[in-house]
Amino acid sequence: MSALGLLLTVTTAVTNAPFAPGLLHPGAAPTALPAPHYPATTRLYAAPDTPAALWVREHSGDPRARVLAGRIASRPQASWFTDPDPLKIEGQVHAVVDAARAQRALPVLVAYAVHRRDCSGHSTGGTGGAAAYRAWIEGFTRGIGTARALVILEPDALALTDCLSGRERRERFAALSYAGRMLHDGAPYSRVYYDAGNSGWHPAPTMAGRLRHAGATRYADGIALNVSNFNRTRDEIRYGRLVLRDLGVSRLGMVIDTSRNGAGPARGHHACDPPGRRLGQPPTTGTGVAGVDAYLWVKPPGQTDGCTAAAGTFDAQYGYLLAR
């Protein structure tokens, strides 16, 4: 399902199933799995201006504030970059990267500005076209420079290519390939994870084919799964291994968004502000699972998808119910 209700400005537990270290999950590809891209002790950057943190500071007397502060606001979460202005993006990225470097922490950065992102859905927008996107990703890359960063490249951009014409699909693949090459060459200490949808969306061979067309076999360090979705971690691991097997590149790993998947998907896989969801595995690079580089909170918990409130709004009650 689509990555709805994403963070519209730069400022942005429960594990589903245990895995023994290195255990190959039943049904996964029986191929060699890569060594982790990050040490298990890697410190992930917890920004002071996540949606939950800002709300807690402004509502310290609210009875929900303590739960939100301890279980959401204090956790590392991704920083989304959605402003399509290529003149602003370098400074915006640099500010987050510099703050993370001061804490000796690894920032998780989400590039989300490709033309026609979300196929005119709740998170519609992006740059005005191919040339504008190239300028945007160039600025994004300069903002990282020689700093360390984990980059998630364009949630849903490949999974949603069905809404595009043939010419637009070719432009989308070219744009992501250009982005991958820019980050690979221009931000040498970053690692790039191409978004690969989730286990409830496309068959693994379909997604592998799209990743290949978009340059992932040449420029990616791995794939990102379950962004802004609710599927169980074990299902994403199984799916991710099938995608990577079809890609046939043994060095690639995966990262999984566990921000709201503690209760699994809603009935019918309804993915727009579904009730009854729970926080998932806290963010960590110590997954204990071969080939899984990190569990991340890519979608900031408590931020709406666009059905109960405007997309990108922090809903304290929703966050509280996720965390309670």
Residues labelled as active-site residues: 156, 305
- End-to-end CA distance of the chain: give it in Å, rounded: 25
Spatial separation of the C-alpha atoms in residues 244 and 247, rounded to whole Å: 5
Which helix or strand (DSSP H or E) is residue 108 part of?
Answer: strand 108-111
Backbone angles phi, psi at 190, to 5 degrees: -95, 160
244 token code pair? 């990577």
Spatial separation of the C-alpha atoms in residues 230 and 287, rounded to whole Å: 18
Residue 201 labelled as part of a binding site: yes
- In the sheet where 149-153 sits, what is the strand order? 79-81, 108-111, 149-153, 190-195, 222-225, 253-257, 292-296
What is residue 179's DSSP assignment? Answer: H
Do residues 65 and 111 make contact, with C-beta atoms less than 8 angstroms apart?
no
Give every CB contact of residue 285 below 8 A, 6+ residues apart in sequence.
Answer: 36, 38, 39, 40, 41, 42, 44, 106, 293, 294
Residue 80 labelled as part of a binding site: yes
Closest by CA position to 230, among listed 208, 262, 185, 190: 262
Residue 297 labelled as part of a binding site: no
Spatial separation of the C-alpha atoms in residues 161 and 116, rounded to whole Å: 10
Paired with 244 in beta bridges are none
Binding residues for substrate: 80, 201, 229, 299
